[in-house]
Amino acid sequence: MSGSLGILAGRGELPWIVAENAIQAGEDVHIFPYTDEAIPSALKPYCTPVVLTRMYASVFASLKKKGVKRLISIGKASKDILYKNPRFDARTLLLLARMENLNDYTIFKNIALELEKIGITVIDQTTYLEDCFLEQGRYGRKLKDKELEDVSYGMMYAREMNRLDIGQTVVVGQRSVIAVECVEGTDQCIRRGGSLYAKGGAVVCKVAKKNHDRRFDIPVTGESTLQSMYDSGCKVLAIEAGATIVVNKAEFLKSARKKGISVISIAESGEGFADGKELRKLNRSGK
C-alpha cells in the first residue's frame, strides 16, 4: 500500500462499507463526505467534509493536506448540482469550461487527470468491496414470457443509453421504453416509469457501459431501488452480472422476495446479453 487512502463519499451506505473494510485492512484512511447525510459515529474521526463546488479550494486542498495518494470515489452523486445556480470557484469554472461536454464520464475523467497532476491516483471503486456482485441467475419467482421479452429488450436499450452517457437504467413494459434515467437518478426514473405503466409490473433494467472504467460510476442497486420499484408497481429488476454492485446482498435478496420483486442477473456474452433461448434457460434454474 502506497500512501494514505482517500474516500470521496457520496450518498448511501457504500462509502462507509468501503471505509470500514479499508480500515480493517490496515489502511490509513481519510474520508471526504460531500453530502449532508449522517456520518456513522465510529467513522466521524476519519472525516473531513468537502464542498464540490469549490473543487480546488476544498476537495483538492483537503486531499493534499491529508497526504492522500490513492482515491476511491464512491456513493451517489447528483449531477443536478450543475443546474441549481451553483457558486463554483474560479478554477473549478475554468476546469468545467475546458471540458468537451459535461457528461458524467467526461467530468470524472477530467477530474482524475487533474488529481494525477498533484500525485493522486483514482482507483477501482470495488477495491474494498468484497463479494459485491450477484452471480448470473434468477432470484425470486419465475418470470413470465412477456417479462423475459421485456428484459431482453430493456437490457439492449439500457446499454445503448449508457453508451451515449445518458443513464444506466431504463424502465420497460410491453417491449417499449417507458422511462430513461437522466439527471434525476435511478430512483426517480423508476418511480416515473412505474407510475406511467398503467398495467403495473414494469421491468427495470440497469447496466454498465461496455468496457466500463471501474474507477467511476459503477452501477449500484440496493434497498432504495427495491423500495422505488415496490412503490411504483415494478416487478422485475434485471442487472448485469459482474458489473452491478449490490449493496448488502443477503439483505437485498431477502427484501426483494418480501416485496414480490424478481431479480435476474445476466452476464454479457459476445456482442450483447442473453437472447430469448438463453434467458428462458436462465429463468428455469432459479437460485
pLDDT given for residue 89 in this prediction: 85
Of 159, 247, 255, which is closest to residue 208 (Cα–Cα)? 159
> Quick one: cell of 152?
431482453
DSSP-assigned beta bridge partners for residue 266: 240
Q: Domains of the chain, with CATH numbers? A: 4-122 (3.40.50.20), 137-284 (3.40.140.80)
User: For the whole model, what pTM was predicted?
Assistant: 0.90
37 and 11 in contact (C-beta within 8 Å)? yes
* C-alpha to C-alpha distance for 52 and 165, rounded to whole angstroms: 21
Dump the DSSP string for 216-250. Answer: S---EE-HHHHHHHHHHT--EEEEETTTSEETTHH
- Phi/psi of residue 6, nearest 5 degrees: -100, 145
- Low-confidence residues of the chain: pLDDT under 50: none
Strand order through the sheet with 177-180: 137-139, 262-266, 236-240, 203-206, 169-172, 177-180
pLDDT given for residue 210 in this prediction: 82
Q: Establish how many alpha carbons lie within 13 A of residue 244's alpha carbon, considering only the half-sphere containing its beta carbon.
A: 28
> Quick one: cell of 118?
498533484
User: What's the helix, strand, coil split of the chain in %, to 5?
Assistant: 40, 20, 40
pLDDT given for residue 1 in this prediction: 56
* C-alpha to C-alpha distance for 130 and 245, rounded to whole angstroms: 10
- Specify the DSSP class assigned to residue 223: H
3-state secondary structure of 237: strand
